[in-house]
Structure 1
């Protein structure tokens, strides 16, 4: 029965109960869903089988958001957080952190099963593959910066705000990034590191991105600056950087929308099996590389034979193309970003691969014009999924096989429905917990064109 209380921002509701199961009581984003009122209330930090006093922090005619003021009844599935975990959880960067990891996996598996059953009538789904690490798995992280009178704070903005939650430890970032964070950014140990920190923050960056290599001790440091940059400070930082060449420092000038690389470098280096990559500051590379390796091996396993011409669409720096090249006749690595294309060429040179053709073009247009040459397409699109013209290009080309790697189950389902309406069937599905402590799920799907009779 609906409660007729008039909801509004700032209203405190007492003894609100979440009596739903784990799988019905949480939204895709990991928020508790209260349906006792005329509109749903999404509550942060309230698990199923818990009750609390809550305060509405946002109101609209369609829904409300709320925060817990006081927990009244605590679920046995709630983790007790230490001081570092509490800071991370408060920032909203790890919405599932309060839930035991085994329950996080159950939640994600059930979500995937429900989406495929409801929308595609597929009821048999493989168990999700867990991340080898629950914490310290990210090779890249971005921190917001706040300047106080006598200190500089680093952390994450609280969700839906510009309120900074400072972080003592970076629980999701790998050990190399954490060492740099603690020993350079928070508490520099040597004279040169003290001077580098002073010069960096004299420039006044509003955020800093750190990325580490799994091959060496190099750290990529990207400074975002949204004010006039003094050349004197840049020159000073260049001279300091020459003394610490393992710091790959770049600046993104937000006012001029351009990059400044202090020292010329080829990028951060990575290795997956016997394949090597160089990735520069403005290019995408998988965050959880240990799990990415398992995904790439699965893609390789789904390629039926070595006589295929394969398109790696939206290929970035050519990671997937390089990984699969040894099991294909030819790979067309298609990427519209010119900088990423340049890096992809560099990566095939490093690995001495001769059967990859790097193409700087719109993948949709290229596929439409070259459909006769293609046996299989691999898609790894951004979170918003494929655009209509991508799907239309594939459908019209009648390409036999598609491997689709998605980082958003909802846009994946939307796109799969379009393929199944147009003569394709779903053959295999495998999900991965690429981002533990968050609700995000990576899913790999093998799609094949039905034989015409």
Structure 2
């Protein structure tokens, strides 16, 4: 009998960055979908490789000795937070060691590896949550929450999610109750029947302004206005500043807009970071943990000095880092692909009183020739895919004095760092900043220079 499809039991001996875990079965290395060191799990082998077996974890048989805290009641089924129940100190140290291992595999050796930075908040820290409508059981009642672990279409009703605060939970519960009462069906990803797709809730950590965005395939306007009134009747700790309705008739299961309508308030909310104000629009990117983002940005800006006259901030989004860097550098230019984000960044920079900020809308690979002169420093904060190889080569060829790389995906970070060190760059320092407690994810900020190592 072949190994593929076999169900096995094994002890988790190692964790790999990104949430996967490693055990052993009859002398063979097994990489499974999730697990915590010290657990005994049941797993199903899905693929046989030359060097290892790939598996999906089916269930945890015995807990790990490091699981010492009470987990969220959804932890057994929800696919969101695989490190719940583990002490936070252990989480941070484990993620730091996993990122170090990625560096070590590529022989990347920073002069200084700083201690990891903890999030100021461990629970209730998210300023955005994208809930999905669905059914936890086929033919069952409407659910609203997160996708079930290991199952692409089933949705767990996450009424008690610990990553968000009470206002998120009130809005989620009021919404799913409203549509259950009216027997409105979720949008089915295969048949494309049904109406309800997503509920996106944002709450600014430091201003408490709340935005709620209901995403549907189609819905009578009278119905969404009734839903709006239900939300306005809620007693919330924050300020419900924006209620939006987005129509998305695309096949892809992503939050996007064919049409958006403001049902109440305004089409944006305001957040404050390190004394600056930023405007968050429905589809703009903003770090999901404002508390830890302040720690991350303070580290990044500390790498600049008054001698840095010309700084480029690539993948700048709403210009958050651009404006914070403008406090220290003489001139900062941000580049961002999303035109809407660039337009908003320009407005916010003006409102924050910066005259040394400018922004270019376009792809980094295609706009480098528009940049004004040789940079003293480059700031990189790319999407999870990292910097395209050709774009990275062009950036390195610009020969700035220093490069500050902020990454939400250390796996692609080390790809770019390997390319940089091969071109003669030196990694001065690296540091993990935990923006995602109770999950396997972490941010990493790296300082590089063209100078020779001492």
Bucket of the pairwise TM-score, normalised by the shorter protein: 0.7 to 0.9
User: Displacement of 1:233 after TM fit?
Assistant: 4.3
SS of 1:348's partner is helix
What are the superposed Cα offsets for residues 14-64 of structure 1, whole Å, 9 maximum, x if unpaired? 5x334x3xxxx1222333312325864344564333435x241x6123343
1:259-338 mapped onto 2 (5 Å cutoff): 259-263=259-263, 265-305=266-306, 307-338=308-339
Q: Match of 1:372, SS?
A: coil
The structure-2 alpha-carbon separation of the partners of 1:308 and 1:427, relative to structure 1 and needing over 3 Å to count, comes to same
* Alignment RMSD (CA, Å): 3.2
1:65 paired to 2:43: no
Distance of aligned partners of 1:154 and 1:240 in 2 relative to their CA distance in 1, 3 Å threshold? closer
How far is 1:437 from its partner? Answer: 1.0
Alignment of 1:340-419 (within 5 A): 340-370=341-371, 372-419=373-420
| Higher mean C-alpha deviation, range 37-46 or range 284-293 | 37-46
**What's the TM-score once normalised by structure 1's chain length?**
0.84
Residue aligned with 2:318, SS: coil
1:7 to 3, 26, 39: 3
SS at match of 1:109: helix
Report the Cα distance in structure 1 between the residues aligned to 2:97 and 2:179, rounded to whole angstroms.
51
Partner of 2:171: 180
Aligned twin of 2:427: 426
Could you tell me how far apart the structure 1 residues matched to 2:333 and 2:419 are? 24
SS of 1:135's equivalent in the other structure is coil
Q: What are structure 1's unaligned runs of at least 5 residues?
A: 188-193
SS of structure 2 residue aligned to 1:310 = strand
Task: Provide the C-alpha distance between the structure 2 equivalents of 1:64 and 1:425, rounded to a whole number of angstroms.
Answer: 36
Judging by fraction of residues, say which structure has more helix.
Answer: 1
Q: Which residue number in structure 2 is paired with residue 144 of structure 1?
A: 132
Give a deviation string over 1:153-188, Cα, whole Å, max 9, x none: 212112342122211212111343234335x3366x
Q: Deviations over 1:370-399 (max 9, x none)?
A: 363422111110111100122121122222
Q: Offset of 1:255 from its aligned partner?
A: 1.6
Residue 70 of structure 2 is aligned to residue 96 of structure 1:
no
1:86 Cα deviation from its structure 2 partner? 3.7
Which among 203, 206, 221 is matched to residue 212 of structure 1? 203
> CA contact under 8 A between 2:310 and 2:375: conserved in structure 1?
yes
Look up the SS of the partner of 1:440 in the other structure.
coil
CA deviation after TM superposition for structure 1 residue 117, in Å: 2.8
Superposed displacement of residue 109, structure 1:
1.7
Q: Aligned residues, how many?
A: 428
Q: Which residue of 2 aligns with 1:164?
A: 155
Closer/same/farther in 2, CA of residues 200 and 403 from structure 1, 3 Å limit: farther
**CA separation of 1:70/1:260 partners in 2, compared to 1, >3 Å: closer, same or farther?**
closer
Cα distance in 2 for partners of 1:283, 1:377 equals 22
Q: Which residue of 2 aligns with 1:190?
A: none
CA distance in 2, matches of 1:239, 1:69: 42
The match for 1:75 among 64, 70, 74 is 64
Distance 2:92 2:231 in 1: 43
Per the TM alignment, residue 206 of structure 1 is displaced from its structure 2 partner at its CA by 1.6
Greater alpha carbon shift after TM alignment, 37-46 vs 399-408 = 37-46
Say whether the 8 Å CA contact 1:424–1:447 is kept in structure 2: yes
CA shift in 2, pair 1:421/1:239, >3 Å: same
- Relative to structure 1, the CA distance from residue 205 to residue 346 in structure 2 (aligned partners, 3 Å threshold; closer, same or farther) is farther
| TM-score, scaled relative to structure 2 | 0.84
Could you tell me which residue of structure 2 aligns to residue 248 of structure 1?
A: 242
Measured at CA, do residues 198 and 139 of structure 1 come closer, stay the same or move farther in structure 2, by a change above 3 Å?
A: farther
With 305-314 and 290-299 compared, the bigger mean Cα shift is at 305-314
